[in-house]
Amino acid sequence: MYKIEHIGIAVKDLEKSNLLFASLFGEKHYKIEDVLSEGVKTSFFQVGSNKIELLEATNANSAIAKFIEKKGEGIHHIAFVVKDINFEIQRLKKEGFTVLNEVPKRGADNKLIAFLHPKSTNGILVELCQDL
């Protein structure tokens, strides 16, 4: 892992939050993407060299719907860039982390992704991201 790829923020209403974060950052989102497999609609903001992803649930079973129901809106995950996601998955498993995706899956913004369970990372949902 060598840098943060993005920070994911769970929101109830993407349209409203896009306006809120555009006024916070002074710049609007550069992309909206539906990730059907994850049950989310996302938008992306570039803030200097950093990326922020807003996530709205598109169905009741989505991880974002469950998160908001339990914790409310807020930071949902931190994603880190990895060069070789399969290598990292095996390395982190050996280190004792709970890897949620033994086989990486396709995520938003042209990435291969895998998650670590927050119970194994001091309460932070960690996402590994490799460019496709």
Residue in 95, 75, 88 with CA at minimum distance from that of residue 115? 88
Kindly report the number of other CB atoms within 10 A of residue 104's CB atom.
Answer: 20
Contact 127, 78 (CB under 8 A): yes
Stretch of 13-21, 23-31, 36-44, 88-96 contacting ligand CMX, by CB under 6 A: 36-44
Q: Which of 9, 11, 14, 40 binds ligand CMX (CB under 6 A)?
A: 40
* Residues 53-82 within binding reach of ligand CMX (CB under 6 A): 55, 63-64, 66-67, 70, 76-77
Q: Tokens representing 123? A: 């309460």
**Cβ contacts of residue 119 below 8 Å, gap of 6+?**
98
State yes or no: residue 107 binds ligand CMX (CB under 6 A): yes
Whether residue 120 contacts residue 97, with contact meaning beta carbons closer than 8 Å, is answered with yes
Number of amino acids touching ligand CMX (CB under 6 A): 22
Q: Which residues bind ligand CMX (CB under 6 A)?
A: 8, 35, 38, 40, 42, 55, 63-64, 66-67, 70, 76-77, 100, 107-108, 115, 117-119, 123, 125
